[in-house]
Amino acid sequence: MVTGMGAVSPIGVGTQAFWDGIVEGRSGVRLLDRFDTSDFSTKIAATVEDFNAEDYVDRKEARKMDRFAQFAVAASSMAMQQSGLQITPEVAPRVGVYIGSGIGGLMTLEEQHKTLMERGPKRVSPFFIPMMIGNMASGQVSILFGAQGPNSAPVSACATGSNAIGDAFSIIQRGDADAMICGGAEATITPLALAGFCSAKAMSERNDEPSRASRPFDAGRDGFIMGEGAGVLILEEREFALSRGAHILAEVVGYGMSGDAFHLVQPNSQGAVRAMTSALRRAELTPDAIGYINAHGTSTPVGDISETKAIKDVFGEYAMKLPVSSTKSMTGHLLGAAGGIEAVACIMALREGILPPTINYETPDPQCDLDYVPNKARPCEIEYAMSNSFGFGGHNATLIFKRAE
């Protein structure tokens, strides 16, 4: 059972602010002004604005965290508040944390490397390592709330957030925890990361039109947009949640994962097929039960075609009637946090009866011919929503959510 949600995103901080941005079809992509981008082919990103870590943790503790961990703490605080879960000494060993990050504290790494080069080894912060390593989102959240149960941090590139939620779901199913704080967090909009993705020719170079740059499934797409933020859910075992009178927001019913075993960065549609098929099998659903898919949909030329093919392979003729959209058209690609924030979008779609749009959809691509909910949110009551996340290395993760009864 999902009893709480938290979102830190480029289109709003807080679940309601994030959802309002989704329904409005608002883009969070903007010109980068954090550092000089003169020599970069891509000069835009989807950045989180108006975020203050001290709204969620005291200043002294916030200074010991990389930005990705601050995002995780903020999203977890929102989710915990909504859930009303009290982690008392009695329940603490049965409450765990699974919050992953695709890259971790890259911002801290770059800052401290600069300090080392310019000022010498003695000036490197003693907090450098615990700020940088990717498990520290889970570590900081567990310390903040006193969650003593299963604790880890999956790393599977852009599938990380979905893997974290799926793994937490599995932990509860097998009886190792009664509740899990789970999701993904990422904050890697730095010179080094931007330079790496630019060199890989993976990102959009539509610098003169930031808000129109992320355009999944559109014929004019030319690459993804880096984003940052966090999405966190509180999952609880059904009887545990009901026994304390928790308000149920939705239910996780399916989880599938697979490996492409194909290429480091090029997708293989059959890996995505296996993940979706596995999730459907675990949920004990036929394909036509799914009312909406939140696609991985990164706005890359090859990736969007591959995912479209995979959906057709899994859903057959029904694929042509199935609404599929990419919220990355608005948020950019949050990398390891994508699955977390997109899980929030799926649950809100189930609760509100509104399907998120794919904005900037202007010119159909003959190889991408599904219903992508173009440009405007669509009223539609659905019972099940699927979320896809596919990562570098060939990691695939699919989640299925059910509307609360």
Q: How far apart are CA 312 and CA 170, in angstroms?
A: 28
Q: How far apart are CA 168 and CA 182, in angstroms?
A: 7
- Residue 251 burial class via C-beta count within 10 angstroms: exposed 0-12, middle 13-18, buried 19 and up: buried
Can you list the residues of the chain whose pLDDT is less than 70?
265
Q: How far apart are CA 113 and CA 106, in angstroms?
A: 10
Q: How far apart are CA 180 and CA 256, in angstroms?
A: 18
pLDDT at 53: 95
* β-pair type (324-325, 29-31): unpaired
Which amino acid appears at position 30 of this protein? R
Q: Which of 228, 207, 230, 209 is nearest to 48 (CA)?
A: 228
In CATH, what number does 254-403 get? 3.40.47.10
CA 154 to chain centroid: 13
Q: Which of 101, 94, 81 is nearest to 150 (CA)?
A: 94
pLDDT at 11: 97
Instruction: List active site positions.
Output: 158, 296, 333
Q: Are 404 and 251 in contact (CB under 8 A)?
A: yes
> Cα dihedral sign for 187, 235, 64, 61?
positive
Looking at every residue in the chain, the average pLDDT score rounds to 96
Give the pLDDT confidence of 348-361 residue by residue, as tens digits. Answer: 999 999 999 999 99
pLDDT at 267: 74
pLDDT at 265: 64
How long is the chain?
Answer: 405
| Token representation of residue 363 | 């010119």
Q: Which of 267, 269, 365, 382 is nearest to 322 (CA)?
A: 382
Q: How far apart are CA 112 and CA 123, in angstroms?
A: 9
2-243 maps to CATH 3.90.1150.10 = no
Q: Where are the domains of the chain?
A: 2-243, 254-403
**Do 2-243 and 254-403 fold alike per CATH?**
yes
Which amino acid appears at position 47 of this protein? T
Which amino acid appears at position 341 of this protein? I
Q: Are 92 and 148 in contact (CB under 8 A)?
A: yes
